[in-house]
Structure 1
Amino acid sequence: MLKKTAGIVLNYLRYGDTSIIVKIFTRELGLKSYLVNGVRTQGKGSKIALYQPLTMLDLVVYDKENAGLQRISEAKIVHPHRLIPFDFARTSIALFMTEVINRSIYEGYQNEWLFDFLEESVLVLDRQESTLGHFPLVFLLEKAKYLGFAPESSEGFLVETVNHPFPPEEIGLTLEYLEDLLSRRYESQYRIPVMLRRKLLDHLLEFHSEHLDNPSPLKSLPIIRQLMG
């Protein structure tokens, strides 16, 4: 059966000489894997640009029950990226986002609110005026809400964990920063020492791994920590 849906590309794997298996988080159908033939070709006929990380697509797909790999009938880019593929910092954050989402959801998982948040985040990341230093932190804080394990208060992000890395002299400033991030989200301009931001990033990733039972480290983390300088 053919169905229409919006989708955001997470990643793809090469398959054979010219094909790929692409993982797409769709709004209506959830996380799906699609086999796309003949896209890794040379010249103007190549369509591999459609399947770069965080590309936002309008899709017409075949959706068969109990089938593993599905097929795409039509794919069209909704919002061509202006900055993400050409700016190292934005490209690195995009890879961080796809890695975090990939570890948080499973095949077939459907969540329209999470999809809408991811779509909003992609658009913000692609804006010239966006503040990137806070971006990974806001992304983790907001994603916890849409996956249902965010605490009721900013303090909960610090105390509802196995490890608590912040000494008493850092807690007050960290809580103020968290509250600003939670209220102003990507618009936050709050200034805080770089080392404290990096410590909070590590802590929030630990917080997520405890709730998602996924302890392996992120490949993109060393670069993201440097970008928060």
Structure 2
Amino acid sequence: MKSYKGRGIVLHTLKYGDSSMIVYLLTDVGGRQNFMVQGVRSSGGRGSKAALFQPMFAVEFEGLVSTKMQLHRFREVRSGLVLQSLPFDVRKSTIALFMAEVLYRLVKESEPNPNLFEFVWRSVEALDALGEGTANFHIWFLARLSRFLGFGPGNSYTSGDWFDIREGAFTPLKPEHTLFFPRSDASYFHEFLHRPIDELASIGMNRTERVEMLQCLLTYYGYHLDAIHAVQSVRILQEVF
């Protein structure tokens, strides 16, 4: 049995038997990996282990794997980030649930993707530390994530552009088909791609604009990755923001 060390972000958990669970992680060393965690809800002081595996929680671990095991196991696992606000702020925890489900549905590769992993890890840190601008964070995350999934915009934005979903590009001419961002949403898309995280509050969107922008991004994702349509937490997100 081989051991290895790594970092991970919790994407999803699934109850297994009476006291165990399967934990789906995005890891730095092996992309998406699935772990069996035994005794997670048992008595004897070990039940607190379940608290480590909330959506988007970061962990550091020593894993075990062998050719005879379909699932990895933990030799040791602990919190990877000391989260100050995310577990206690309903708005941030709602965003974390959405982020985790998006990644769970869309990221399937069991190969290291250092750039994607570091983006996700830093996003958890940023969300936890964020003061103002929380309501815009999920838009920022989806906009930036598109680049790491391989279909970010392929050109630069010019004021007054539309955004062609089929071409994945900004354009000065309104597309003749219906798959495009209106000018206002194309402008917001550009802002979210380039505005620093500590300036999210300065992107002045009202609730209606935020819902419209989210729908534009989900349409863009859906054109490239059909699995986005299975994300159920969108409804909860729209109710909160």
Residue of structure 1 in register with 2:30 after alignment? 29
What percentage of residue pairs aligned between the two structures are identical? Answer: 31
Q: Distance in 2 between matches of 1:63 and 1:180?
A: 43
Q: Distance in 1 between matches of 2:46 and 2:25?
A: 22
Residue of structure 1 in register with 2:172 after alignment? none
Q: Distance in 2 between matches of 1:45 and 1:217?
A: 33
User: Which of 57, 60, 68 matches 1:58?
Assistant: 60
Q: Distance in 1 between matches of 2:221 and 2:162?
A: 10
The 5 Å alignment of 1:74-93 reads: 74-93=76-95
The question of 1:159 aligning with 2:172 is answered: no
Residue identity opposite 1:87 in structure 2 = D
Q: Distance in 1 between matches of 2:24 and 2:61?
A: 13
Say whether the 8 Å CA contact 2:144–2:192 is kept in structure 1: no
Residue identity opposite 1:159 in structure 2 = D
Distance 1:142 1:7, change over 3 A: same
Say whether the 8 Å CA contact 2:29–2:112 is kept in structure 1: yes
Residue of structure 1 in register with 2:134 after alignment? 132
Residue of structure 2 in register with 1:176 after alignment? 187
Deviation at 1:97, TM superposition (A): 0.1
The 5 Å alignment of 1:1-229 reads: 1-42=2-43, 44-46=45-47, 47-65=49-67, 67-153=69-155, 158-161=163-166, 163-164=178-179, 171=183, 173-186=184-197, 187-188=199-200, 189-214=202-227, 216-228=229-241
Q: Distance in 2 between matches of 1:14 and 1:8?
A: 18
Distance 1:126 1:26, change over 3 A: same
Distance 1:65 1:53, change over 3 A: same
Give structure 2 stretches of 5+ with no counterpart. 167-176
Distance 1:121 1:52, change over 3 A: same
Give structure 1 stretches of 5+ with no counterpart. none
Deviation at 1:65, TM superposition (A): 4.9
Deviations 1:28-77 (A, max 9, x none): 11110011110112463321112111111111101335842111111011
Other structure's SS at 2:229 match? coil
Say whether the 8 Å CA contact 1:30–1:111 is kept in structure 2: yes
Q: Distance in 1 between matches of 2:229 and 2:194?
A: 30
Distance 1:177 1:211, change over 3 A: same
**Structure-2-length-normalised TM-score:** 0.84
Distance 1:128 1:180, change over 3 A: closer
Distance 1:141 1:185, change over 3 A: farther
Deviation at 1:146, TM superposition (A): 0.7
Say whether the 8 Å CA contact 1:154–1:178 is kept in structure 2: no
Deviations 1:87-116 (A, max 9, x none): 111111000000110111115143111111
Deviation at 1:205, TM superposition (A): 1.0
Say whether the 8 Å CA contact 2:7–2:61 is kept in structure 1: yes
Residue identity opposite 1:191 in structure 2 = G
Farther-moved stretch of structure 1 (209-218 vs 68-77)? 209-218
Q: Distance in 1 between matches of 2:37 and 2:74?
A: 7
Count of residues paired in the alignment = 224
**Structure-1-length-normalised TM-score:** 0.88
Say whether the 8 Å CA contact 1:150–1:157 is kept in structure 2: no
Say whether the 8 Å CA contact 2:28–2:117 is kept in structure 1: yes
